[in-house]
Amino acid sequence: QVQLQESGPGLVKPSETLSLTCTVSGGSVNNYYWTWIRQTPGKGLEWIGYVYYSGSTNYNPSLKSRLTISVDTSKGQFYLNLRSVTAADTAVYFCVRSAYTGSHYYMDVWGKGTTVIVSS
Amino acid sequence: SSELTQDPAVSVALGQTVTITCQGDSLRSHYATWYQQKPGQAPLLVMYRENSRPSGVPDRFTGSSSGNTASLTITGAQAEDEADYYCNSRVSNAHHFVFGPGTKVTVL
């Protein structure tokens, strides 16, 4: 079965770039949307955005100016880059497989999540 | 409005029925999707496209919607159903998505 694993630094300095990788195993990257979600105690779950296997993207407007999500189908990986981070970006970050049925979007396979702390 | 609202917490006696609701303007035109999250775990998809259950989700979970409200009902709640439940939907007249604040379900 498909499994997702997040990786990346657990500590990022303010004003720097948060970079995470999600590795997809047990299945293909093709034909799916690959989503990033984050969770903080104060704000709950927040939808960050997704990349389609073809490379097209859809971002949360509140993060769009700082955000890049990309995919490398040959490696079975997708990526999150969030620039100019502040303490408010401290969260557990999940990578997720998602899909549409008709116009309805759902997220059906989740990674375990990785904690990222923004601090000097 | 892009917001979804949920009751913060509900409780249910073991074996009884509980309904969790999610309200928002976007639900008039978009289905909600429901996720269950237990402490220390990633969320789990339990309902999509109003009343479709992924493989492995017990049939005691059902979904419905009416107007601006989506509902997730657990009929015959079990101890393992104790968790936080989040709804998620597309934002009206936009392309991005938003989660509700979550409902903590306690099984007594």
Contacts of B100 in chain A (CB under 8 A): 44
- Closest residue on chain B to A98 (Cα): B45
Q: In what order do the strands lie in the sheet with A18-25?
A: A3-7, A18-25, A77-82, A67-72
Tell me if A3 sits within 8 A of A9, measured CB to CB: no
Does A45 contact B at CB distance below 8 Å?
A: yes
Tokens of B33: 């999707």
Looking at residue B92, what is its pLDDT?
A: 85
Contacts of B48 in chain A (CB under 8 A): 101, 104, 106, 108
Q: What CA–CA distance (Å, rounded) separates B68 from B47?
A: 17
Looking at residue A101, what is its pLDDT?
A: 87
Tokens of A72: 């490398």
* Model pLDDT for residues B47-83, shown as the tens digit of each residue: 999 899 999 999 999 999 999 999 999 999 999 999 9
Looking at residue A103, what is its pLDDT?
A: 85
Q: Residue A104's closest CA among B52, B2, B6, B71?
A: B52
Contacts of A49 in chain B (CB under 8 A): 96
* Model pLDDT for residues A71-102, shown as the tens digit of each residue: 999 999 999 999 999 999 999 999 999 999 88
B97·A44 Cβ contact <8 A: no
Tokens of B68: 């601006």
A46·B99 Cβ contact <8 A: yes
Looking at residue B70, what is its pLDDT?
A: 97
Q: What CA–CA distance (Å, rounded) separates A88 from A73?
A: 31
Most confident of A4-8, B25-29, B49-53, B92-96: A4-8
Tokens of B82: 């104790």
What region, left, alpha or beta, does residue A61 occupy, with left being phi > 0 and alpha being psi -120 to 50 degrees? Answer: alpha
Say yes or no to pLDDT of B36 above 80. Answer: yes
A58·B52 Cβ contact <8 A: no
Say yes or no to pLDDT of B2 above 80. Answer: no
Looking at residue B50, what is its pLDDT?
A: 84
Q: Is A102 exposed, middle or buried (0-12, 13-18, 19+ CB in 10 A)?
A: exposed
Q: What CA–CA distance (Å, rounded) separates A83 from A98?
A: 24
Q: Provide the shortest C-alpha distance from residue A104 to chain B (in Å).
A: 6
Q: What CA–CA distance (Å, rounded) separates A19 from A76?
A: 17
Tokens of A26: 């047990």
Q: Provide the shortest C-alpha distance from residue A13 to chain B (in Å).
A: 25
Which range, of A78-82, B34-38, B66-70, B91-95, averages the lowest pLDDT? B91-95
Looking at residue A61, what is its pLDDT?
A: 96
Q: Provide the shortest C-alpha distance from residue B88 to chain A (in Å).
A: 9
Say yes or no to pLDDT of B1 above 90. Answer: no
Contacts of A113 in chain B (CB under 8 A): 42
Q: Provide the shortest C-alpha distance from residue B80 to chain A (in Å).
A: 19
With a cut of 70, list the residues of chain A below it in pLDDT.
none
A104·B30 Cβ contact <8 A: yes
